[in-house]
Structure 1
Amino acid sequence: MRAMWKGSIGFGLVNIPVRMYVATEESSIPFVQLDKKTNSRVRYKKVSESTGKELFQEDIVRAYQMGEDYVIVEDADFQKAAPEKIDHLEITQFINEKEIDAVYYEKPYYLEPDKMGAKAYVLLRDALKKENKAALGPLVYHNKEWICLIKPLRKVLVMHRLRFTDEIRSEAGIVVPDTAIKPEELKMASMLIGQLTKPFKPEDYKDTYSEKLMKVIEAKAKGKPTGKPLKVAHNATTVDLMEKLKASLNVKHTKKAS
């Protein structure tokens, strides 16, 4: 893997040099766009609004729109807003990870220690494990501030980028009817939850849709017929809710999730 960032973690007065790697990758199939008539690739160009000419990266500057005017923002301007220590994540507090709602998690990254910082890295990792805590701190990366959570995962430290509060949209406007639930319905639903509760094994979950779609594409490339009629799942009604719960409890849930 290629490191996407090199910097350090501040743990009190201890400085831990680290490299950061993307911890995930998309499982979706990459598609390209073609001209329907000629099957040639569709390309996108950056064009000047006033001249209509194509622009290259060296011809482009960043700007912020204020009313009808634009303010050109240069590298020096970003540096003025940067923290005193660049390429540095200073741990500001330790927390119980359960305090953070899942909606705040954005993306995970692996942290690898520099040889000089290996002992301090292991110390932080083992201390977090022992105390069952996670570390929080800010990091400025590519002219954007991140709030980061650091936690141990087996032998490595994983850094999760978190969303800021103002990035979470309000649930106001989402209509949830104030419907009365009967005690026996709630009891039956709790029994179903208990029946389906088991330890989480991430290896049990795979992107089967992409696998099946790839098989369809490969078969189509060979000129073979593909596809089966789709089954439509209709919205459930609440009239027969108890009967559906009872029937669900009688179903043997032996098939692994996919």
Structure 2
Amino acid sequence: MARPVWTGVISFGLVSLPVALYTATDSHTIHFHQLQRGTCDRIRNRRVNERTGKEVELEEIVKGYDTGEEYVLIEPHELDEIAPGRSKTIEITGFVDLDTVDPIFFGKTYYLGPKGKEYTKIYGLLEQALEESNRAGIATFVMRGREYLVALKAEKGLLAVHTLHWSEEIRDPQQEIPDLPKTGDASAGELKMAHQLIDALAVDWQSEDYHDVYQEKVAALIKAKQAGETVEKAEPAPKATGAVDLMEALRASVERARSPKDTGERTSTSKDSKATGKKPAAKKRTGSSGTSRSQSLQSLTKAELYEKATKAGIHGRSGMSHDELAEALAACKGK
């Protein structure tokens, strides 16, 4: 059973709900020690006075802010004295439509659970109301000496807290990235072919179909080196597509994605997965509705379906797949 990283109270209006915060994700990165080549001697990082070359004890170190002309010295306890106290409340200041929050603002995710069985009713009520309204509660709270801006939202029967970046932390891409294209640079034919390629490669999102291939290769490299073996090197990166070759590259990509050979390979992969116990790769989306309206909806792109779902006021649309959006719109029309 996981231990909470924070406990406190959610407050909205006059309602208070005791909760516990849990880490939602793990890191499976393989970590290495630094060694001197030709030995097994560890390399250590030390705090050294750059003028004297002598090592300095941690308690002798203060913080200094460089103004350009001098250092302003700050003692560690002075930062503690001005920091907000350990907060015990996630106070929701308002509820926003999830579709209005740009994904770039989202940071780390935490699970939120009720702190005791006696609070499950209030917890479930808030979760259901947020799910049906497609809204998130915006709040701030303090954890480990740092203040966080967060979004509280419903996710498949539970509440989750997503840390949000402060607006001043978001960089302006127009100032950061050179040579951004202008709208309308692509021809109508190129844009149409790009849409066909996207549709041909469309799949339903299944997180289990994706895994960290690089970490698997690192683990295989370690195992091979331990056994005195060699491993196959990765293929070189593909060459950039030139502007002159763009249309031909798009056309060839569409034909490759739609070819019977490609379909056969996907089918055999699915069959092989049953024998090995591995999950099959994501399958291409296919419309199977019997009504003409459903068939018409299935032919639309996900973006077009989402726009219609927004106008129809369908709740939970932000988490729906292409087919789920089509089914929800068909059911909505039938009412």
Indicate the TM-score class for this superposition, using the shorter chain for normalisation: 0.7 to 0.9
Q: Distance in 1 between matches of 2:35 and 2:82?
A: 44
- Aligned-pair RMSD on alpha carbons? 2.4
Q: Cα distance, 1:242 vs. partner?
A: 1.3
Shift in alpha-carbon separation, 1:212–1:37, aligned structure 2, 3 A: closer
Mean alpha-carbon deviation: is it higher for 157-166 or for 31-40?
31-40
| Structure 2 partner of 1:74 | 77
Distance 1:12 1:213 in 2: 51
Give the distance between the partners of 2:234 and 2:147, measured in 1 at CA: 48
3-state SS, counterpart of residue 160 of structure 2:
strand
CA distance in 2, matches of 1:136, 1:36: 51
Whichever residue aligns with residue 69 of structure 1, its letter is V
CA distance in 2, matches of 1:70, 1:152: 45
TM-score w.r.t. the length of structure 1 is: 0.87
Matched, 1:176 2:177: no
Q: Which amino acid aligns with 2:245?
A: D
Question: Which secondary structure state, in structure 2, belongs to the residue aligned with residue 121 of structure 1?
Answer: helix
1:244 equivalent in alignment to 2:249: yes
Counterpart-to-counterpart distance in 2, 1:132 and 1:207: 31
Does residue 194 in structure 1 map to residue 196 in structure 2?
no
Higher strand share: 1
Residue type matched to 2:21 in 1? M
Specify whether residues 221 and 48 from structure 1 end up closer, same or farther in structure 2 by C-alpha distance, changes over 3 A only: same
Question: Which is richer in helix?
Answer: 2
Q: Cα gap change, 1:173/1:156 in structure 2, threshold over 3 Å: closer, same or farther?
A: closer
Distance in 2 (CA, whole Å) between partners of 1:210 and 1:93 is 41
Whole-angstrom distance in 2 between the partners of 1:21 and 1:157: 11
TM-score, length basis structure 2: 0.68
CA shift for structure 1 position 78? 4.0
Unaligned runs of 5+ in 1: none
For residues 27 and 162 of structure 1, what CA distance do their matches in structure 2 show?
23
Q: Name the CA distance, whole Å, in 2 between partners of 1:61 and 1:113.
A: 42
Measure, in 2, the Cα distance between the counterparts of 1:151 and 1:209: 32
State the shift of 1:163 in Å.
0.5
Deviations 1:158-205 (Å, cap 9, x if unpaired)?
111110111112211422244722111111111222222232111111
CA distance in 2, matches of 1:50, 1:121: 58
Report the equivalent of 2:113: 112
Structure 2 runs not aligned, ≥5 long = 267-280, 283-335
SS at structure 2 position matched to 1:26: coil
Runs in 1 of length 4+ with deviation above 6 angstroms?
Answer: none
Please give the alpha-carbon distance, in whole angstroms, between the structure 2 residues aligned to 1:87 and 1:62.
Answer: 30
Residue pair 2:12, 2:92 contacting (<8 A) in 1 also: yes
Aligned partner of 1:216 in structure 2 is 221
CA 214–97 in structure 1, closer or farther in 2 if over 3 Å, else same: same
Do the aligned residues in 2 keep the contact of 1:62 with 1:74 (CA within 8 Å)?
Answer: no
Larger RCO, structure (CA 8 Å, separation 6 or more): 1
Helix, strand or coil: the match of 2:128?
helix
The aligned residue for residue 101 of structure 1 is 102
1:248 is displaced (CA, Å) by 1.1
Take 1:70 and 1:30, find their aligned partners in 2: how far apart are those partners? 35
- 2:289 alignment counterpart: none
CA distance in 1, matches of 2:90, 2:60: 31
Q: SS in structure 1 opposite 2:239? A: coil
Letter in structure 1 aligned against 2:243? T
Q: Which residue of 1 aligns with 2:57?
A: 55
User: 1:84-95 to 2 correspondence within 5 Å?
Assistant: 86-95=87-96
In 2, Cα distance between equivalents of 1:213 and 1:173: 33
Deviation at 1:148, TM superposition (A): 0.2
Alignment correspondent of 1:22: 23
